Amino acid sequence: MAEDGKSTVRAVERALDILLCFTVKKEWAMTELADSVGLHKSTVHRMLATLEERGFVARDAASDRYKLGLRIWELSANMSGADDPAVIGLPEMERLRDMLGETVSLYLRDGNERIRIQAVQSIQAIRRVAPIGARLPLYVGASSKVLIAFEEPAKREELLADASWPTAFDRHQYREQMAEWQKLGYAMSVEEREQGAAAVAAPVFSRTGKLVAALSVSGPANRLTTEIMRSQAPAVIEAARRLGVMLK
């Protein structure tokens, strides 16, 4: 019985690994999925057949490639409710984008990563495109700084103690810089994670004072200079405050 239980859990893990591949790109061939998750093609074929039968993936008969099925969208529709920051924050994010002209993103912390749950793209010809659903490291970038610096002290120290961070990461210097971010109410980054990109971010607190998310404005570093970001910071802070008062 125990072995059957382990087998069942492993099957669920494999199916979820396959579904998570669709966060990287929209369509996959069966052999590509097998290579990506490290499973035999016959195993992936069986998994896909079950997922297709349940509506979680759909196969294009012409190309023999798979994409997410409508059942996924049914699940996401139920997730987007009155307490979803991605839904609640969209009008405020659009207002900020129209005011500053750059891409606006909303991030949540998930373990030792941050995930972009909403984005409003800049309408400028040269812009930074921010795909929704992207997972990014927590040790670098303006939004990551905010999601650590404004956390409760115990959680902040737990995050800073993460052994998976690069060995060259200077935690002592980082702690010294945190005091400045906390004082200013925002953080900036210039080409820290992505060459040619810059960002300024502010914390989003709920009405109860809990850190919920990070709101950021990002764009090309040659346009979003340090001076420009400093001048834009008050607008980002105010937008984050306005968003936060709508959250429980």
pLDDT band of 30, cuts 50, 70, 90:
very high
pLDDT tens digits, one per residue of 178-191: 999 999 999 999 99
Q: CB–CB of 83/212 below 8 Å?
A: no
pLDDT at 76: 67
Percentage of the chain beyond pLDDT 70 is 93
Residue 1 has pLDDT above 50, yes or no: no
Average pLDDT (96-123) is 93
Q: Which two tokens stand for residue 36?
A: 């990506």
Yes or no: say if 198 and 190 are a contact pair by the CB < 8 Å rule.
yes
Q: Among 153, 222, 223, 230, which Cα is nearest to 186's? A: 230
Q: Quote the pLDDT of residue 24.
A: 80
CA torsion 227-221-86-146 (nearest 10°) is -60
Q: pTM score > 0.85 for this model?
A: no
| pLDDT at residue 5 is higher than 80 | no
Question: Average pLDDT of the chain?
Answer: 90
pLDDT in tens, 195-206: 999 999 999 999
d(CA 141, CA 131): 16
Reported as a pLDDT band with limits 50, 70 and 90, residue 127 is: confident
Quote the pLDDT of residue 123. Answer: 87
Other beta carbons less than 10 A from residue 172's beta carbon:
7
User: Residue 177 pLDDT > 90, yes or no?
Assistant: yes
Q: Determine what percent of the chain is predicted with pLDDT higher than 90.
A: 67
pLDDT at 75: 74
Class of residue 125 by CB neighbours under 10 A (exposed 0-12, middle 13-18, buried 19+): exposed
Q: Is the pLDDT of residue 164 over 90?
A: no
Residues 6 or more apart whose CB falls under 8 angstroms from that of 84 comprise none
**CB neighbour list of residue 204: distance below 8 Å, 6 or more residues apart:** 85, 89, 106, 211, 212, 213, 214, 215, 240, 243, 244, 247
- Residue ranges in the chain assigned as alpha helix (H): 2-20, 30-37, 41-53, 70-79, 85-88, 90-100, 142-149, 153-160, 171-184, 226-244
pLDDT the model gives residue 2: 43
pLDDT of residue 238: 96
pLDDT at 159 > cutoff 70: yes
